[in-house]
Amino acid sequence: MLSEFDLIKQYFVTPASKDPRIALGIGDDCALLNPSPGKQLAISSDMLVSGRHFFPDADPFGLGHKCLAVNLSDLAAMGAKPLAFTLALSLPEANREWLDRFSKGLLTLAAEHNCTLIGGDTTKGPLNICITIFGEITPGQALRRDTAQVGDDIWISGDIGDARLALAGYWKELELSPEQHQQAAVRMHRPTPRIALGMELCGIAHAALDISDGLIGDLGHILERSKVGASLEVDKLPAGLMLQSQPQELRRRFTLAGGDDYELCFTAPIQQREQVIAAGLRTGTAVTRVGKIEHKLGLRLLDQDGQHLALELKSFDHFVSD
């Protein structure tokens, strides 16, 4: 039978990192990091629960990718450069095939971002995956939520809403063609953390976060913490490729209150428009200007004629919506 230590050794220990900042990796009571002199450490934790954040029969390779991707996305939202992560894993059983594919999905994405697995924990229990990730950033450069300024443009990276469309397909809320559903599902299962763009936006953007619970709820955090309001041009929101061919009402709903997008929503002064577009070009990431930070509190939704839209929407909350 596979013991806890064999499990870690076989599936999660990679050749010793050559990164001099990683003084000690997996296998002791603690890992040891040598932070780069003069840098701040950005830290984020995300816990993914079976049946809540992913289907119990989810493809383990994709799951390994997604668990790390959502954590990388938090680093991207601060503008931090990935360094390392810990993985705590509760598993119903030590299934070799599952572990093999899960660890490959996880470690493939980790390698792409030079982000080293340095420790963690494994235990038996209901499937639960908790990653804590570490990145580095120059002090004063982090893209926070409380630093949006009146007059800023609001921008969104990539496109949003296809993950929500895929979910609607799984839930049978909508009839999608198999091909539509499959393509939308890629956005749900394989989010792309916008690490390169986040780093480029340091010094250009004022505030940023990643869209995980739906745009209006997440943008609401920037507004609340920055003590500002905003208006959004709803029909300018960059809808996902599959969502684009859906009716306007659905497009509006899924871009505004989708979830699982893992794109960046950021604000930047008008004078930085060219710089924002250049940052998008350098990192191969679409950037779309979708609204404005305003003095008047609250969030105003405008249609293509600048008329107010009254939409009943809410963001996802783990303890209220169910």
Q: Is 216 in the site for its own copies (CB under 8 A)?
A: no
Residue from 125, 178, 247, 306 in contact with its own copies (CB under 8 A): 125
Could you give the CA distance from residue 145 to residue 77 in angstroms, rounded to a whole number?
9
Say if residue 19 carries a ligand binding annotation.
no
Residue from 179, 249, 312, 322 in contact with its own copies (CB under 8 A): 322
Q: Which of residues 132-161 bind its own copies (CB under 8 A)?
A: 132, 134-135, 137, 139, 142, 144-146
Region of 103-111, 205-213, 229-237, 295-303 interacting with its own copies (CB under 8 A):
205-213
Residue 281: both structure tokens together: 């070009």
Instruction: Round the CA-based radius of gyration of the chain to a whole number and report it.
Output: 20
Nearer to its own copies, 67 or 239 (CB): 67
Residue from 75, 156, 166, 237 in contact with its own copies (CB under 8 A): 75
Say if residue 17 carries a ligand binding annotation.
no
Q: How far is the CB of 181 from its own copies (least distance, A)?
A: 26
Residue from 14, 88, 269, 283 in contact with its own copies (CB under 8 A): 88
Binding track, positions 247-286, relative to its own copies; x by CB under 8 A:
----------------------------------------
Q: Is 203 in the site for its own copies (CB under 8 A)?
A: no
CA dihedral 104, 110, 111, 116 (to 10 degrees): -110
Q: Which of residues 22-41 bind its own copies (CB under 8 A)?
A: 23-24, 27-35, 37, 40-41
Helix (H, G, I), strand (E, B) or coil at 78: helix
Q: Which of residues 53-72 bind its own copies (CB under 8 A)?
A: 53
Q: Which amino acid is at 34?
A: N
Could you give the CA distance from residue 250 to residue 255 in angstroms, rounded to a whole number?
8
Residue from 19, 43, 183, 277 in contact with its own copies (CB under 8 A): 43
Q: Is 204 in the site for its own copies (CB under 8 A)?
A: no
Could you give the CA distance from residue 67 to residue 119 in angstroms, rounded to a whole number?
16
Could you give the CA distance from residue 19 to residue 26 in angstroms, rounded to a whole number?
14
Concatenate the DSSP letters of all residues of 102-170 into one string.
HHHHHHHHHHHTT-EEEEEEEEESS-EEEEEEEEEE-TT----SS---TT-EEEEES-BSHHHHHHHHH
Could you give the CA distance from residue 15 to residue 256 in angstroms, rounded to a whole number?
43
Binding residues for ATP: 120-121, 145, 212
